[in-house]
A = this chain, B = another copy of it.
């Protein structure tokens, strides 16, 4: 069946060239943004404070994570893929190095994001004095630097690991490195940003009645730092991780099929075209003076999607790839768009849900919460059905290629290609996503730098567009994570069966072990895993939210202390400044303290289930984790976005406008929604990927040692 002599090298080289092109574009955009004019001293000063704060957090975080990485790398070296005294030492070294490589690439992408975001915010703020167009372009191109860097480095990393090791299992190690870092970056950044945001709002806006981003508020710099470390660095790590995981899953499965080289070439080719399409999309991004920023952002996405669909069809024709596989990837992209539209419906302030929740606000905060929770729960349905249908369709489209006994393997490969398709335009998604916190920061700088009402109005409208687009991109990334982890379930089976082959069908104790074909829920071991796996996302998100609560209470005490002890601060006496550093320190230390237990719960529970119930229990565990993880990620992201926009809708003058009873209730909803949408919700994505990857790289161990 195999087509001999299909040469993968061309695609390796092409991937590397496109990755380097993306880096080139990133550098060009970086320089473009950096060369925008900036002259205001006050803005520069505050911008510097934000930059320092973000870098301080990142340095501390990376220090903690370095220790964690070294510890895990040592464990991998000794135990994975199989204990060093049993298997091939070289395989362990490869896995450990790939793992480290994954963490480093992810960390670098985060660092680049922070660097540009803390420049672009200043530029966008000052440009706002000249008009909406230059301000938008500074923010957007700043975000695009992040987009290009993340996607370029993920494609480059995957290609290099593949070329150097020639081993797709090493890709799982690389992917695990990326996602273990992402887990902590997302969770840590998420705790930081919401600690600062919630504390600044409650102690500032609610208790003292001073405006958002007022420089008297000791937490205001921490709040702006939070946008960067949570929404830029954390989000970037998260999508780096999803992107790598989707490619890794597809490549692992492609390698186990007939025509392995050609299938692997397709994965690289489609991923490369996605990046190319995103590059074109970024350059065509434009906006007229007086135009609508939301429309501009969405237009880029559509342009990129169309370019991707056309170019992949051309490539499929040119390289004689299989059209069924192309179909699977197109299904993924189409369903991603549908999920994005559904998320938009539930969070957009022109739609019914926001209007209903805003009306409920008139009856007080309890109704704000129950109606927001209800719409958040309803919002899970279209996405769950969409993911289900796309997985089913992708499977059914590709499965016939394995006619004659190999349908399952091809079907699962189809699902992984749908995930690759959905994530193909991730460069665009990240650019749009990183735009949000940059212009949010710019708004803060305009306020703190007294750049005038017109500039404030402009950055307000840019910020609001960022919020709306964020809901869509979040829906997209949750959907993609869902498909990716379904594909990873297939990768897990592949890993288990490879291990069975390697061990000659006998485990460490001489017991016979058999290949697996799937996970039957009527097997009580699988069901046991399923129930425990389903409980992990709620527990994980609860731990993160409690972390934010504890941390915010510490920070609020600190804000109260400063207002009490620093003479003239409350009154805004010239020259009197709050101690911004103290708040940044509290947010940083608290986030680092709180993120480790939550992250460990995800990893350790996988190990416990694996050692108790073996690979069948782990299969159930991953499945339960995916199912409940998707529901909670969708629920929390959408409910949070809904409350955020409800508050803004009321502030725009509806139901009594600012300072009405409805507004107070809306603020409560927004405060509840903050940790939902920016801490817990998006971290669950990463949590389910980590669980799947831990399971895959531990496959041999679980086969060898388990209670049942």
List A residues at the B interface (Cβ < 8 Å). Answer: 198, 202, 206, 360, 363-367, 369-371, 373-378, 380-381, 384-385, 387-389, 391-392, 395-396, 408, 411-412, 415, 486, 489-490, 493, 517-532, 534-535, 538-539, 541-543, 545-546, 548-549, 552-553, 556, 613, 619-620, 623-624, 627-628, 630-631, 635, 667-668, 671-672, 675
Given A363-B202, A364-B202, A628-B628: A392 touches B525 (CB 8 Å cut-off):
yes
Which residues of B have CB within 8 Å of A553? 360, 363, 367
For A365, A396, A553, the residue with the greatest tally of chain B CB atoms inside 10 Å of its CB is A365
Taken together, the copies of this chain in the complex come to: 2
Which residues of B have CB within 8 Å of A538? 377-378, 380-381, 631, 635
Pairs across A and B, CB under 8 Å, 16 listed: A206-B364, A364-B668, A370-B549, A375-B546, A377-B538, A381-B538, A385-B531, A388-B531, A392-B525, A412-B522, A518-B520, A518-B522, A520-B520, A531-B627, A534-B630, A538-B631
Contact B627 A524 (CB under 8 A): no
| Contact of A672 (CB < 8 Å), options: B369, B412, B549 | B369
A376 to chain B, nearest CB (A): 8
In whole angstroms, what is the CA distance A310 to B151 when docked? Answer: 66
A144 to chain B, nearest CB (A): 34
Contact A523 B518 (CB under 8 A): yes
Contact B531 A387 (CB under 8 A): yes
Which residues of B have CB within 8 Å of A486? 527
| Contact of A366 (CB < 8 Å), options: B202, B517, B619 | B202
Contact A521 B366 (CB under 8 A): no
Contact B522 A493 (CB under 8 A): yes
Contact B624 A366 (CB under 8 A): no
14 A-B pairs besides A373-B672, A391-B524, A518-B523 with CB distance below 8 A are: A363-B552, A370-B548, A370-B671, A370-B672, A374-B542, A377-B538, A388-B531, A518-B520, A521-B521, A521-B526, A521-B620, A531-B630, A534-B630, A668-B668
- The chain B residue with its CB closest to the CB of A408 is B522
Given A366-B202, A528-B391: A628 touches B534 (CB 8 Å cut-off):
yes
A555 to chain B, nearest CB (A): 11
Contact A524 B395 (CB under 8 A): yes
Which residues of B have CB within 8 Å of A528? 388-389, 391-392
- The chain B residue with its CB closest to the CB of A378 is B542
Given A370-B545, A408-B522, A627-B531: A365 touches B539 (CB 8 Å cut-off):
no
Contact A539 B408 (CB under 8 A): no
In whole angstroms, what is the CA distance A522 to B494 when docked? Answer: 12
Contact B668 A365 (CB under 8 A): yes
Contact A521 B370 (CB under 8 A): no
A590 to chain B, nearest CB (A): 15
Which residues of B have CB within 8 Å of A526? 521
Contact A371 B520 (CB under 8 A): no
Contact A535 B385 (CB under 8 A): yes
Contact A490 B366 (CB under 8 A): no
Contact B367 A549 (CB under 8 A): yes
A550 to chain B, nearest CB (A): 9
Contact B534 A384 (CB under 8 A): yes
For A373, A543, A635, the residue with the greatest tally of chain B CB atoms inside 10 Å of its CB is A373
In whole angstroms, what is the CA distance A377 to B415 when docked? Answer: 31
| Contact of A385 (CB < 8 Å), options: B373, B378, B517, B532 | B532
Contact B535 A380 (CB under 8 A): yes
Contact A366 B532 (CB under 8 A): no
Contact A366 B522 (CB under 8 A): no
In whole angstroms, what is the CA distance A388 to B548 when docked? Answer: 31
Contact B539 A380 (CB under 8 A): yes
| Contact of A535 (CB < 8 Å), options: B202, B381, B543 | B381
In whole angstroms, what is the CA distance A529 to B385 when docked? Answer: 9
Contact B365 A623 (CB under 8 A): no
Given A384-B532, A549-B371, A624-B627: A539 touches B364 (CB 8 Å cut-off):
no
A503 to chain B, nearest CB (A): 22
A496 to chain B, nearest CB (A): 12
Which residues of B have CB within 8 Å of A206? 364
Contact B539 A366 (CB under 8 A): no
Which residues of B have CB within 8 Å of A546? 371, 374-375
A411 to chain B, nearest CB (A): 6
In whole angstroms, what is the CA distance A367 to B668 when docked? Answer: 9
| Contact of A520 (CB < 8 Å), options: B384, B517, B524 | B517
In whole angstroms, what is the CA distance A375 to B541 when docked? Answer: 10
Which residues of B have CB within 8 Å of A517? 520, 522
In whole angstroms, what is the CA distance A375 to B202 when docked? Answer: 22
Which residues of B have CB within 8 Å of A539? 377-378, 380-381
For A198, A202, A370, the residue with the greatest tally of chain B CB atoms inside 10 Å of its CB is A370
For A366, A493, A631, the residue with the greatest tally of chain B CB atoms inside 10 Å of its CB is A366
Which residues of B have CB within 8 Å of A668? 364-366, 369, 668
In whole angstroms, what is the CA distance A415 to B523 when docked? Answer: 12
Which residues of B have CB within 8 Å of A548? 370
Contact B556 A363 (CB under 8 A): yes
In whole angstroms, what is the CA distance A523 to B541 when docked? Answer: 29
Which residues of B have CB within 8 Å of A364? 202, 206, 668, 671
- The chain B residue with its CB closest to the CB of A386 is B531
Contact B630 A631 (CB under 8 A): no
In whole angstroms, what is the CA distance A356 to B336 when docked? Answer: 40
Given A522-B490, A619-B521, A627-B534: A366 touches B542 (CB 8 Å cut-off):
no
Given A539-B380, A628-B628: A388 touches B527 (CB 8 Å cut-off):
yes
Q: Closest 4 interchain pairs by CB?
A: A366-B671, A518-B520, A395-B524, A388-B531
Which residues of B have CB within 8 Å of A635? 538
In whole angstroms, what is the CA distance A381 to B609 when docked? Answer: 14
A393 to chain B, nearest CB (A): 9
In whole angstroms, what is the CA distance A371 to B628 when docked? Answer: 20
| Contact of A373 (CB < 8 Å), options: B489, B542, B620 | B542
- The chain B residue with its CB closest to the CB of A374 is B542
A488 to chain B, nearest CB (A): 12
